[in-house]
Amino acid sequence: MSLEEFNEDYLNLLLDKLSKENKKVFLLGDFNVDLLKYDHHSLTNEFLNSLSSNLFLPNIVLPTRICGQSKTLIDNIFSNVISPGIMSGNISASISDHLPQFSIFPEIFGESPSTKSNIFERDWSQFDQQSFVLDFFAIDWSTKIDLNANQMNSYLGIFFKYYQYSFRWTCSNEKKF
């Protein structure tokens, strides 16, 4: 259906009903409305204005679908819950051409955000780039894969296995292979 029809016949009616109920509401999905175009596409602007006029704000503000030369923000989580503790964003995963989104609303469940965060990061202090490159290029791929078998998924798994081994061993200074 057209965005104009959706805005008039569905979205505005739903928002009118929800605004009378005074509840915490979450609207999420693949809306196929590119919020990045709100400033030059009138129907997208109308869509966003209808939501924000009813105190629904987008929790996702970065592109959610990235293909070749295009980026769109068509998947979203809108809520009328406004709190400084909300955490949301995209998960960088290659499950599909749409990135998965998440939102965490800690106050809804009576919990405030933890002051202690488990933040994981890579430790590059022991990494020797030259050793990594030399070790990786020293792998005799002809003994690891048979290109005539045409099993690309299997080959990719083998490639990542040796990549991870090369990286791990280069960082820990253990002997390789």
Q: What is the pLDDT of residue 119?
A: 63
16 plus 86 within the same structural domain: yes
134 plus 104 within the same structural domain: no
139 plus 101 within the same structural domain: no
Looking at the domain assignment, is residue 115 inside a domain? no
**Residue type at 10 in one-letter notation:** Y
- How large is the angle between the packed helices 42-53 and 12-21, nearest 10 degrees? 10
Looking at the domain assignment, is residue 57 inside a domain? yes
Q: How far apart are CA 106 and CA 173, in angstroms?
A: 42
Q: Kindly report the number of other CB atoms within 10 A of residue 175's CB atom.
A: 6
CATH number where 12 lies: 3.60.10.10
Q: What is the pLDDT of residue 84?
A: 79
Q: What is the pLDDT of residue 176?
A: 43
**Residue type at 16 in one-letter notation:** D
Looking at the domain assignment, is residue 124 inside a domain? no
98 plus 148 within the same structural domain: no
- Taking the chain, what is the end-to-end CA distance rounded to the nearest angstrom? 58
59 plus 142 within the same structural domain: no
pLDDT along the chain (177 residues), means of 10: 93 92 90 93 94 92 86 92 85 79 78 59 74 80 76 74 65 45
Looking at the domain assignment, is residue 121 inside a domain? no
Looking at the domain assignment, is residue 97 inside a domain? yes
75 plus 25 within the same structural domain: yes
Looking at the domain assignment, is residue 103 inside a domain? yes
101 plus 16 within the same structural domain: yes
Query: For strand 26-30 and strand 75-79, is the pairing parallel, antiparallel, or unpaired?
Result: antiparallel
20 plus 103 within the same structural domain: yes
Give the range of the structural domain holding residue 141, as residue numbers without chain letter: 129-172
Q: How many domains does the chain have?
A: 2
Looking at the domain assignment, is residue 120 inside a domain? no
* Strand ranges for the chain from DSSP E: 26-30, 57-58, 65-67, 70-72, 75-79, 87-90, 101-104
Q: What is the pLDDT of residue 8?
A: 93
pTM exceeds cut of 0.85: no
Looking at the domain assignment, is residue 87 inside a domain? yes
